[in-house]
């Protein structure tokens, strides 16, 4: 497994990480034992960068990772997040970046994870009602207290990133980035390179759509959030399916899967980006790992860029309420 620097932290992480969200929520039913087996397989195969958040499964995902980390803590670089506030029954209560909330959320995450220190602590969504300087100031306090090693932001703008970075060095920025979500190419990727920040690409497989395995909302579980995602419904779905068909043809010519090409496109195009595809299955995990060895020539990258030109993708990344939470 190749490795990439984690910002200027002095740490290196596997070229791809593992997003753990789907092991607890959003993509239909999951099985803890299957998830634990997949986590163990990932570590055995060289993945050392695991990503979770306090809101995934309303704490369930962190508790699951806590079970996995027992006896393995020193082998894992663990990232978790705060800021999306949920009630005990999963109800959405908004976004908070107040200093008091930052401190209490960190303590709660540490307890669920069963660890003393979080390697990388992200603000999951920027709180529009709390200046980023106050939020990052509180996060800096967590570093000084030894509860957190390095800081990150998720779904922030370049302007917000620069303000945050002036308070305390930001090690990683996490934003959705894939063949069909290329907004970071406008400014953010260059800003991260300039500041020595690792860009962590979540949903690099387009929430599985780019794998070609999702043809209709009917193939998804009743509680799968993608049923409400604009890109997975109606006319947008039909337009986007044409893109996955073209990707499948490209991948077949390379002797690879669509998922492997989608990951290789990121890895070959950007050397300071670490994608974190999520999966609950070892078979898919192994396919994703194989993508790290797939080489794409500049002409092939350009071909894929053209196939997935932003104007060719139909539908927004989230429904209106979700889009409103992004710090664009």
User: Between β-strands 273-275 and 3-5, what pairing exists: parallel, antiparallel or unpaired?
Assistant: unpaired
Q: Contact, 62 vs 80, CB < 8 A?
A: yes
Q: Contact, 215 vs 241, CB < 8 A?
A: yes
CA distance 224 to 229: 10
10 Å CB burial of residue 76 (0-12, 13-18, 19+) is buried
Point out the catalytic residue in the list 27, 56, 101, 284. Answer: 56
Task: Pick the closest to residue 263 from 51, 43, 16, 21 (CA basis).
Answer: 16
* Strand segments (E) across the chain: 3-5, 12-14, 18-19, 49-51, 77-82, 84-86, 92-95, 118-123, 148-154, 170-176, 198-202, 273-275
- Is 202 annotated as catalytic? no
Q: Contact, 178 vs 204, CB < 8 A?
A: yes
Query: What residues are annotated to the active site?
Result: 56
């Amino acid at each position: 497994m190749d490795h990439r620097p984690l910002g200027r932290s002095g740490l290196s992480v596997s070229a791809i990480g593992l997003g753990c969200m789907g092991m607890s929520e959003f993509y239909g039913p999951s099985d803890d034992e299957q998830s634990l087996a997949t986590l163990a397989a990932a570590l055995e195969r060289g993945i050392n960068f695991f990503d979770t958040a306090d809101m995934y499964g309303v704490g369930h995902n962190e508790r699951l990772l806590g079970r996995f980390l027992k006896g393995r803590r020193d082998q894992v670089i663990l990232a978790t997040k705060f800021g999306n506030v949920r009630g005990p029954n999963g109800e959405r209560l908004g976004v908070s970046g107040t200093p008091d909330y930052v401190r209490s959320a960190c303590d709660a995450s540490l307890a669920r994870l069963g660890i003393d220190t979080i390697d990388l602590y992200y603000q999951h969504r920027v709180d529009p009602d709390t200046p980023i300087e106050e939020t990052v100031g509180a996060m800096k306090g967590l570093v000084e207290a030894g509860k957190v090693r390095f800081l990150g932001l998720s779904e922030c703008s370049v302007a917000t990133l620069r303000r945050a970075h002036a308070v305390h060095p930001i090690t990683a920025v996490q934003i959705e980035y894939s063949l069909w979500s290329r907004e970071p190419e406008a400014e953010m990727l260059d800003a991260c390179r300039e500041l020595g920040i690792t860009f962590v690409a979540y949903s690099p497989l387009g929430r599985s759509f780019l794998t070609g395995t999702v043809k209709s909302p009917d193939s998804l579980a009743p509680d799968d959030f993608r049923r409400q995602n604009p890109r997975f419904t109606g006319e947008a779905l039909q337009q986007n399916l044409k893109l996955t068909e073209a990707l499948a043809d490209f991948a077949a010519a390379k002797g690879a899967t669509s998922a492997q090409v989608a990951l290789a496109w990121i890895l070959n195009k950007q050397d300071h980006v670490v994608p974190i595809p999520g999966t609950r299955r070892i078979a898919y995990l192994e396919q994703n790992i194989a993508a790290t060895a797939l080489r794409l020539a500049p002409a092939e990258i350009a071909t894929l860029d053209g196939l997935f030109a932003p104007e060719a993708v139909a539908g927004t990344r989230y429904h209106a309420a979700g889009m409103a939470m992004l710090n664009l």
